[in-house]
């Protein structure tokens, strides 16, 4: 019963927190524990710290007023990299790390691309990952393009904290409005400005009116909306917070539901304020009187890593080869994963605890070897988790003046009824607990310790072929080290084999990695024959064999050869389990390595609610597209489910081609812990760097209209998708941690899963017909094939959204659904819709599966029933367009020259006519003479 209550408590706790890494808490209307981290690659500049303080201080007041006196920033920690010089003002972090950063100050994603953005790849209303500002943005060098820093932070905070989206859309910057005019995508429509084409070349800038595109009937590609510098409209912060008059979010009264903004597309046409009102923050805050106090700042500097292994050697560890597997994984961590310069100690525990090694600073292989020799060799006794933790406190305290920011890696396989006794002690210590649960019975109370201290939670089953224990230890790289210092896992694979059977495969070492490459082979019965060929075909020798731990390993000195390495392992015993792990580090500190990270959308889930798997593939901050990404999910008893993850902008994937690969997970098989591992591969010419501008970013302001003239900003570097860098072959593996499932029934149950919502429905008019395209959903979310589609149309977007079943249904008899994730196309003739004076046809789809379960109504596509009217311009007033106007220093030179020339011509004509008339008069008054 005690365990059940603890599990129920943890379920509530994790459902509240989700899998977002932020430590932010809302307390008495103020946001506490906000972390702003300066990336190690940012050169030291004390002005960045001062500007961060000024930014947060002004943002706090702006946020307070924009949320009707509800929210403000109460305290903020600024995380300073170890590469910056020490300062008496700087303290050692406790639980703060780059993993938990809410705002990251880092170099541009690509050179010259300074745009501020929020990494947001979840559904409407869900918290995002982090905000990215470049040093130039923080130092105020981009204010003319993106507006004041404080306002900019509030715009991005709304993305991050409340899951709202931008109220502009660079893919659809204009639309056909009900007014039958072409309007700029914005909210609210009260924002005034000019639609123009503005180009600069050789120190001169040219402007002209926008022409309409013959295909879209909207403005041409180069047309942009230039807002008036002086405005009176107060909304919206999610359109252009940089406009001086804008101080509010759009609400249901002034929201522009017509515009194809990302907010409308992702949030079902609800305003940003409606979404914010539905947030957990809003339910916990009421307006307060009086201004908020200024935010308090803590300056925290990263220092040397301190980590203590706390390893279970109780009697239960003698079963299922657990003690040996623990030692294999711990040796890999000590020999390869933990970074040079780190301090490492070791504690073992059963019903009591003992110190196996005091803290040793790792400077060479000798320290690593000494730690390896300290690993437990026998499994006996009971389980006292708190004894192990308290002894680790002692080990750390013997060297460090404080425990803040030090780490404990706790591995256990058993339950301990007394573990909850030291939870408060752990929280107050400042230590971070990383929890590795081995087997199905590992204690639940430690999850709370891990969660509340900002640590990681991993699970490994007793199935050694899944390699889960080594994967967990391999994931425990320093959260505050630069990416070039971290060990990166390239391969993790295991197989059950019979005698003389072979395990053959390849691993790719690409040019971004190769330094300190480490091959590890493990077995359960007898040493296998190991063959490893480098890319040139040379057989590589030199494996160190550790028969006591049933493992062999090879470290490549220097940089490993780039290319495909081939390995063959031959089992020498019946019922053998072989596994291989390959890790490496960045080949060059100035070139970011390709990396993959993985997570679930929740840490804890109750059946039958679906979960979402996310995997992000990137190089530095640049997304990688076109990779083949799979997720391997292992249940409590070792059952595995393999999912192909997709970056197609459909189903669970929020945005197409953003480098985040996603999929629904519904294949639950039991209650308890599940683990996640992700593998990413790229074949020849298949993957590429994305040059697209990031989603969820502050709008770039091309210029302002001042006194009727455009004052342009420096042009933004434009991304040419045709020049995207094609990447070489690569392979990566990463652990996504553990999650807990409850409520799975023991008896058969009816189909609980409908098809997923269609989110990419698009409509194109073709004469009297309309062609629809969308990505097919599945029988169960995004797996299988639906039974049928229901397509309905209406002249009212709101009626179609709120009363879908009452709208006019389209005949879809000939529409046969395809397999999930296929591209669907359907053409129909709309006919007459019941709404009078309708200006648009709005279209939506609902899917039905064989159990007659229906999906959510799709996004709403629309087709205009008219050709929209463009703004009057010289191009449309005259069949032959006049030369472009030349705006230089605010003076229209071309117009001036034309005016002068025109005046001269007019005067010349008048003078010539006058002279001609006078001559004629004089001629008529003289006598004629003849011959």
Positions marked active-site: 156
Structure tokens at 544: 């160190």
CA 927 to CA 931: how far, in whole Å? 14
Burial label, 8 (beta-carbon count in 10 A; 0-12, 13-18, 19+):
exposed
Q: Which residue is associated with the tokens 């929890």? A: 435
Burial label, 907 (beta-carbon count in 10 A; 0-12, 13-18, 19+):
exposed
Q: Which of 649, 664, 600 is nearest to 265 (CA)?
A: 649
What residues does 785 pair with on adjacent strands? none
CA 419 to CA 433: how far, in whole Å? 13
On whether the CB atoms of residues 607 and 745 are closer than 8 A, the answer is: yes
Q: Which residue is associated with the tokens 């900002």? A: 454
Structure tokens at 547: 């028969």
Type and span of the H or E element at 835: none
Q: Which of 688, 713, 852 is nearest to 229 (CA)?
A: 713
Q: How many residues does the chain have?
A: 931
CA 151 to CA 900: how far, in whole Å? 46
What is the number of H-type helices and E-type strands within the chain?
Answer: 18, 49
Angle at 665 between CA 659 and CA 669, to 5 degrees: 150
What residues does 309 pair with on adjacent strands? 346, 409
CA 593 to CA 517: how far, in whole Å? 13
Cα separation of the two ends of the chain = 138
Q: Is the dihedral of CA 234, 238, 239, 240 positive or negative?
A: positive
CA 429 to CA 403: how far, in whole Å? 6
On whether the CB atoms of residues 462 and 413 are closer than 8 A, the answer is: no
CA 243 to CA 443: how far, in whole Å? 54
On whether the CB atoms of residues 526 and 497 are closer than 8 A, the answer is: no
CA 694 to CA 691: how far, in whole Å? 9
Backbone angles phi, psi at 549, to 5 degrees: -95, 0
The Cα-based distances of 130 to 22, 100, 153, 161, 475 in angstroms read 8, 9, 12, 9, 21
CA 626 to CA 684: how far, in whole Å? 11
């Amino acid at each position: 019963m005690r365990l059940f209550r603890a599990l129920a408590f943890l379920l509530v706790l994790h459902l509240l927190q989700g899998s977002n890494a932020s430590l932010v808490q809302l307390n008495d209307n103020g946001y506490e524990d906000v972390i702003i981290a300066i990336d190690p690659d940012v050169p030291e500049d004390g002005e960045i710290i001062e500007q961060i303080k000024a930014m947060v201080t002004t943002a706090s007041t702006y946020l307070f007023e924009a949320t009707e006196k509800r929210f403000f920033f109460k305290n903020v920690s600024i995380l300073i990299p170890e590469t910056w010089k020490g300062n008496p003002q700087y303290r050692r972090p406790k639980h703060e790390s780059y993993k938990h950063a809410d705002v990251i100050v880092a170099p541009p994603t690509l050179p010259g691309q300074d745009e501020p953005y929020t990494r947001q790849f979840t559904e409407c209303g869900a918290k995002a990952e982090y905000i990215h500002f470049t040093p130039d943005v923080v130092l105020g060098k981009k204010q003319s393009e993106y507006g004041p820093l404080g306002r900019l932070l509030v715009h991005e905070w709304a993305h991050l904290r409340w899951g709202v989206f931008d109220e502009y859309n660079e893919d659809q910057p204009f639309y056909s409005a009900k007014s039958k005019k072409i309007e700029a995508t914005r909210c609210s429509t009260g924002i005034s400005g000019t639609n123009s084409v503005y180009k600069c070349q050789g120190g001169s800038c040219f402007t002209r009116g926008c022409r309409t595109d013959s295909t879209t009937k909207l403005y041409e590609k180069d047309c942009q909306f230039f807002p008036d510098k002086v405005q009176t409209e107060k909304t919206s912060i999610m359109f252009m917070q940089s406009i001086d008059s804008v101080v509010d979010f759009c609400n249901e009264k002034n929201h522009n539901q017509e515009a194809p903004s990302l907010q409308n597309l992702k949030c079902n046409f609800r305003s940003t304020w409606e979404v914010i009102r539905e947030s957990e923050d809003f339910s916990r805050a009421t307006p307060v009187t009086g201004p908020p106090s200024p935010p308090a700042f803590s300056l925290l500097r990263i220092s040397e890593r301190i980590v203590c292994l706390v390893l279970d050697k109780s009697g239960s560890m003698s079963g299922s080869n657990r003690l040996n597997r623990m030692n294999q994984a711990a040796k890999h961590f000590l020999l390869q994963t933990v970074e040079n310069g780190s301090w490492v100690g070791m504690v073992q525990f059963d019903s009591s605890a003992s110190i196996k090694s005091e803290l040793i600073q790792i400077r060479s292989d000798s320290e690593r070897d000494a730690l390896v020799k300290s690993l437990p060799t026998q499994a006996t006794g009971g389980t006292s988790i708190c004894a192990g933790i308290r002894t680790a406190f002692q080990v750390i305290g013997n060297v460090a003046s404080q425990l803040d920011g030090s780490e404990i890696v706790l591995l256990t396989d058993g339950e301990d009824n007394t573990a909850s006794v030291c939870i408060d002690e752990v929280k107050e210590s400042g230590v971070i607990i990383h929890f590795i649960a081995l087997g199905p019975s590992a204690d639940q109370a430690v999850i709370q310790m891990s969660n509340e201290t900002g640590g990681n939670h991993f699970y490994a089953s007793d199935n050694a072929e899944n390699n889960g224990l080594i994967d967990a230890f391999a994931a425990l790289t320093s959260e505050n080290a630069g990416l070039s210092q971290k060990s990166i896992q390239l391969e993790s694979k295991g197989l059950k084999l019979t005698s003389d059977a072979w395990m053959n495969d390849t691993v790719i070492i690409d040019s971004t990695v190769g330094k300190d490459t480490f091959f590890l082979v493990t077995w359960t019965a007898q040493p296998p024959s190991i063959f490893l060929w480098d890319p040139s075909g040379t057989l590589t020798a030199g494996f160190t064999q550790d028969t006591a731990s049933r493992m062999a390993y090879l470290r490549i000195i220097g940089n490993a050869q780039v290319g495909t390495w081939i390995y063959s392992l031959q089992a020498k015993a019946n019922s053998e389990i072989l596994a291989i792990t390959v890790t490496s580090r960045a080949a060059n500190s100035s070139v970011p390595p390709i990396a993959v990270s993985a997570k679930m959308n929740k840490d804890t889930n109750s059946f039958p609610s679906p979960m979402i798997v996310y995997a992000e593939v990137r190089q530095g901050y640049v997304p990688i597209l076109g990779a083949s990404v799979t997720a391997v999910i292992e249940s409590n008893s070792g059952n595995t489910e393999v999912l192909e993850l997709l970056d197609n902008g459909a189903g669970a994937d929020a945005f197409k081609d953003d480098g985040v690969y996603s999929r629904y997970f519904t294949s639950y098989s039991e209650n308890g812990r599940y683990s996640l591992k992700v593998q990413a591969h790229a074949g020849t010419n298949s993957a590429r760097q994305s040059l697209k501008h990031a989603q969820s970013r502050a709008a770039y302001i091309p210029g302002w209209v001042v006194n009727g003239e455009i004052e342009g900003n420096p042009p933004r570097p434009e991304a040419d998708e045709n020049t995207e860098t094609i990447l070489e072959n690569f392979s990566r593996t990463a652990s996504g941690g553990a999650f807990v499932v409850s409520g799975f029934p023991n008896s058969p149950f009816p189909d609980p899963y409908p098809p997923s919502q269609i989110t990419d429905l698009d409509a194109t008019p073709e004469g009297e017909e309309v062609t629809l395209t969308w990505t097919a959903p599945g029988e169960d979310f995004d797996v299988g094939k639906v039974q049928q589609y229901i397509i309905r149309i209406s002249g009212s977007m709101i009626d179609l959204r709120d009363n879908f079943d009452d709208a006019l249904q389209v005949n879809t008899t000939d529409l046969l659904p395809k397999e999930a994730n296929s591209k669907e196309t359907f053409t129909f003739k709309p006919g007459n819709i019941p709404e009078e004076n309708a200006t648009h046809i709005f279209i939506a789809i609902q899917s039905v599966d064989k159990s007659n379960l229906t999906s959510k109504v799709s996004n709403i596509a629309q087709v205009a029933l008219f050709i929209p009217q463009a703004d009057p311009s010289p191009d449309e007033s005259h069949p032959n367009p006049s030369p472009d106007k030349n705006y230089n220093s605010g003076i229209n030179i071309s117009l001036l020259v034309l005016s002068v020339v025109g005046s001269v011509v007019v005067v010349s004509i008048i003078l010539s006519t006058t002279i001609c008339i006078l001559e004629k008069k004089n001629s008529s008054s003289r006598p004629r003479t003849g011959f």
